[in-house]
Structure 1
Amino acid sequence: MTKRVTLADLADQTGLNISTVSRALSRPDRVSNETRRLVEKVASQFGYETNVAARNLSRGTTDTILVLASSFSGQAISPIFTGILLGVCEEAKALGLNVMLRQYLAQPISASDVIRYLQAGVADSVLLVATEQWLPPADRGPDQEMLPIVSIFNDLTTAGLTSVMTQEGDGYVAIVDHLVERGHRHFAFVSGPAGSGHEHTRYNAVKNRLSTLGLGKKLIRLEGGPFDMASGTKAAQAFLALKKRPTAVICCSDGLALGFMHTILGSGLRVPEDVAIAGYDGMDYTAFTSPALTTVIQPTLEIGRVAVQVLADIHNGRITTPRLVALAPTFVVRQST
């Protein structure tokens, strides 16, 4: 049987990111003419037909994608999800599909619960946003068709789900390298929620990069909590109580960084003269803080768009085994470092 061509195949052939290929096919007005022509040429050569994705994904009974968005500890849906959901809605509209949003609090989410939505005709496909844990169906063998379910923001490939997310480690490597170039040699990491996969990945990225640079013993960990400003304030209070304070602080999110910076400035310390502070996520407000926050911007719109494209690839048989689609973040240096 001839192997079906996927977005990843087109990305390999063109030398472009998957997100750029997706945008060239679904939003050609948002890329250069040169990029559009290249993608269209390669897609034609390899037999990738974008209308096939739309046709196959809309063969279900509802033409609806159900987005199940997780919350942290009963809090409202994180602002970082807004861009992802917008990308999902834009791509779904381009394919003539509807989007239904539902929030859930329970972790882990059971496959049987999600499959029940599909069997009941609520939706034809499901996007799981920020699902930390997934309990696979016990009665499905490896030779059965993939479920039309994609994980956004968390890597659940080992649990059998194709996943779309950011290359988080790359962003933190960029932060560490930048701070080291600025002369910093003593670091603190403000942690996120205990047990969070993102917190684990981000801390390890910082720790491993510093170890590679011979600075592994120059890192301390400050307990934060949920990705919010209140937790950042708590971490800053612990920082101020230290006898020997690090000169650079790397936070697990922008919310943590903003709360941390507010408390530090209120204590009379200067940013970045006394302590440099960096966040992660790329929330819009970080450009308007004083000082403006150095951060890593997640490609949330592209994550949402690519996730819908991946669902289409699952429906039409282009993707038959779980795979990870990781998009590159953007590091932005501002006044806080």
Structure 2
Amino acid sequence: MSRRRWRAVKETRIADVARLAGVSTATVSRVLANPDQVRPKTHDLVMEAVRRSGYTPNSTARNLRTRRTMTVLVVAPRLTNPVFAQVLRGVDDELTQNGYGIIVGNLDNLIEREARYVDLVLSRQVDGVLLMNGRIPEKGRRSMGEAGLPIVALCSAIPDAGIPNVTVEDREASRRAVEYLAQLGHSKLGYISGTPGTFIEVERFSGFQEGVAAAGLSQEDFVRWEGPFTFATGVAAAEAFLRLKKRPTGVFATCDESAIGFIKTVRSAGVRVPDDVSVVGFDGIEFADYTEPTLTTFQQPLHELGRTGARILLKMIQGKMSPADWDIRLPLQLLERGTTGPAPRRGRSAK
């Protein structure tokens, strides 16, 4: 039985590209490494030669020269949350456009999972980190920040950490939610919290309280139900709502998941939405388009939030940060839909 003799395919080298384009190898290297620093005509000439020759840059060798991995770590609290999934799409789009890869660290809301990602950063296997979990991860007495790599807090600010924060106007949107419900005539409110103690929850509840005060209401005019940012929190809040003798007619949930869980549970008990109780959510996730009735919510610019966070991180890596990049807060849009309406007249509320 004859053996087939395999021959190694001749590797296309950078010198081949240079010869085909009629330029020096140094020019080819500049075009591939720093395309913004060469003339458009030269760039197009070299890239056409790359295409025709089938040349593939040796990323490993390039990374050794630049001391960069061309990879970013993104730490997320819980990937099943549709908010983080949409933000990640924005992050990935921005990184891909700039030639970077992504490693996603899913904590699944478990602090003990942080250790593996601390090791990854301390061993400098990435060029930078985007933190969506609201804190600097630690392993024992060691912190991810000790690596000295660029870090950006995304979605949830990390105050006093000395790193840029890219968030949304949480406090302002919560204040506007109360204002909106008050304008509809609601004077007895319900507040479904997010994860207690987190920066996001503190901001949103502060905004809610500011809205209550601005509407001429007091702490006796609202009920607060605590829990993490989940469907289950909304279900638990609804069960507590149903046990009340005097129920709120307007409810603000600090995430759409909780709002959806609340609506499903109260409707199953015969409570009408919005005739008996109006509900406002927060996030603008795709699921909110398919609830019955459709959910009134404050829509976060999730994709743009991810792209902005990634863009700021890349600027840090490249040493191009400006003072304006250190605290970015994107606005939200109120989507007025079917779960809100005028407060019921006295005697018609769900009691």
SS in structure 1 opposite 2:293?
coil
Corresponding residue to 1:230 among 229, 232, 237: 232
Give the match for residue 209 of structure 1. 211
State the 1:128 CA deviation: 1.2
Give the match for residue 152 of structure 1. 154
State the 1:64 CA deviation: 0.7
Q: Aligned runs of 1:94-105 on 2, under 5 Å?
A: 94-104=97-107, 105=109
Contact persistence 1:247–1:274 (CA under 8 A): yes
CA distance in 2, matches of 1:189, 1:103: 28
Task: Say whether residues 1:66 and 2:67 are aligned partners.
Answer: no
SS in structure 2 opposite 1:65?
strand
Change (3 A) 1:282 1:325: same
Corresponding residue to 2:128 among 121, 125, 148: 125
Read off the aligned partner of 2:69 and give its amino acid letter.
Answer: T
Give the match for residue 92 of structure 2. 89
State the 1:205 CA deviation: 0.7
Corresponding residue to 1:184 among 186, 193, 197: 186
Change (3 A) 1:130 1:88: same
Q: Aligned runs of 1:149-298 on 2, under 5 Å?
A: 149-298=151-300
Contact persistence 2:129–2:149 (CA under 8 A): no
Give the match for residue 17 of structure 1. none
Q: Aligned residues: percent identity? A: 30
State the 1:174 CA deviation: 2.2
State the 1:135 CA deviation: 6.3
The higher radius of gyration belongs to 2
CA distance in 2, matches of 1:217, 1:92: 45
Contact persistence 1:192–1:252 (CA under 8 A): yes
CA distance in 2, matches of 1:259, 1:91: 33
Read off the aligned partner of 1:272 and give its amino acid letter.
Answer: P
Q: Structure 2 regions of 5+ residues with no counterpart? A: 1-33, 38-61, 341-351
Contact persistence 2:131–2:153 (CA under 8 A): yes
SS in structure 1 opposite 2:125?
coil
SS in structure 2 opposite 1:188?
strand
SS in structure 2 opposite 1:279?
strand
Q: Aligned runs of 1:41-52 on 2, under 5 Å?
A: 51=36
Q: Structure 1 regions of 5+ residues with no counterpart? A: 1-48
SS in structure 2 opposite 1:84?
helix
RMSD, matched Cα: 3.2
CA distance in 1, matches of 2:196, 2:315: 35
SS in structure 1 opposite 2:160?
helix
CA distance in 1, matches of 2:200, 2:35: 33
SS in structure 1 opposite 2:237?
helix
Read off the aligned partner of 2:128 and give its amino acid letter.
Answer: S
CA distance in 2, matches of 1:139, 1:264: 47
State the 1:320 CA deviation: 7.0
Task: Say whether residues 1:324 and 2:324 are aligned partners.
Answer: no
Contact persistence 2:134–2:198 (CA under 8 A): no
Read off the aligned partner of 1:292 and give its amino acid letter.
Answer: T
CA distance in 2, matches of 1:325, 1:108: 30
CA distance in 2, matches of 1:148, 1:114: 15
State the 1:146 CA deviation: 6.5
Give the match for residue 13 of structure 1. none
SS in structure 1 opposite 2:294?
coil
Deviations 1:146-198 (A, max 9, x none): 73111111111411121111111122122212111111111110122222222
Report the TM-score when normalising by structure 2.
Answer: 0.71
Give the match for residue 8 of structure 1. none
Deviations 1:286-314 (A, max 9, x none): 11111111111111111111111101221
Change (3 A) 1:196 1:115: closer
State the 1:92 CA deviation: 0.7
Give the match for residue 40 of structure 1. none
CA distance in 2, matches of 1:211, 1:50: 55
Report the TM-score when normalising by structure 1.
Answer: 0.73
CA distance in 1, matches of 2:332, 2:203: 15
Read off the aligned partner of 2:170 and give its amino acid letter.
Answer: E
CA distance in 2, matches of 1:219, 1:192: 20
SS in structure 2 opposite 1:258?
helix
Q: How many aligned residue pairs are there?
A: 279
